[in-house]
């Protein structure tokens, strides 16, 4: 019985065609871009910090990642750092001038799909101090901020040397809203600075984009942004 000889493949069959390589590369690139866009839209979005209002926790030009699972899937808590859309009048002006040209168009496109971090634009970043129903007051006889009558030791996140507030206030947070303050209290135009505005300084929960959970740049300061849960642990939840 003679052995069946397997036909030898030609060298041409082994060599991928240029069109095939380009097609596969395009498929991989498009898939990566779609995945990036899906992550940005539903799970995680990158932002960079344009000011020093959250020093020393966050510094100008820091890059952070924000979980967009909050508040739709997971709850917001006292002490969370949140990115939110301007409820109206907080910024008062465009932080960044609109520029034009090919580079601007490319940057906007890469930001849209999630490859580049979102700039401040119409967004801000602050810390959650008051939840719906809370009474937030500053300052008590010892110079501390209180939430529902409980004095809060904010040294875990306040910028060194900062007082809890340089103005006195007492507010009751309405339903579905938050009272937000920066860690650099003397350099933050937060809920206190907007008491006379249309929303009374309160930010609708629907305006929250998500919670910041990690600082990714610069490398030497990269790390998790943990909620200082023990700071608010004695605050009664039901008013």
Q: Please give the positions annotated as active site.
A: 53, 126
b/e map 49-71, b = 16+ CB within 10 Å: bbbbbbbebbeeebbbbbbbebb
Distance CA 83, CA 122 (A): 10
């Amino acid at each position: 019985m003679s052995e069946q000889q397997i036909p030898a493949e030609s060298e041409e069959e082994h060599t991928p065609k240029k069109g095939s390589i380009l097609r596969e590369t395009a498929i991989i690139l498009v898939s990566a871009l779609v995945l990036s866009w899906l992550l940005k839209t539903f799970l995680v979005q990158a932002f960079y910090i344009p000011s020093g209002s959250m020093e020393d926790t966050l510094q100008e030009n820091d890059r952070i990642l924000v979980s967009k699972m909050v508040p739709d899937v997971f709850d917001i808590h006292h002490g969370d750092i949140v990115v939110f859309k301007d409820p109206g009048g907080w910024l008062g002006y465009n932080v960044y001038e609109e520029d034009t040209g090919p580079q601007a168009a490319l940057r906007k496109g890469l930001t849209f799909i999630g490859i580049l971090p979102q700039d401040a634009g119409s967004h801000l970043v602050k810390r959650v101090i008051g939840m719906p129903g809370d009474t937030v007051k500053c300052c008590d006889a010892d110079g501390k901020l209180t939430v529902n009558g409980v004095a809060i030791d904010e040294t875990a996140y306040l910028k060194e040397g900062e007082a809890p507030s340089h103005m006195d206030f007492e507010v009751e947070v309405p339903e579905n809203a938050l009272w937000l303050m920066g860690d650099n209290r003397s350099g933050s135009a937060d809920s206190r600075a907007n008491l006379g505005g249309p929303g009374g300084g309160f930010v609708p929960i629907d305006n929250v984009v998500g919670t910041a959970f990690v600082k990714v740049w610069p490398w030497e300061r990269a790390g998790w942004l943990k909620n200082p849960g023990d700071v608010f642990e004695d605050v009664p939840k039901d008013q």
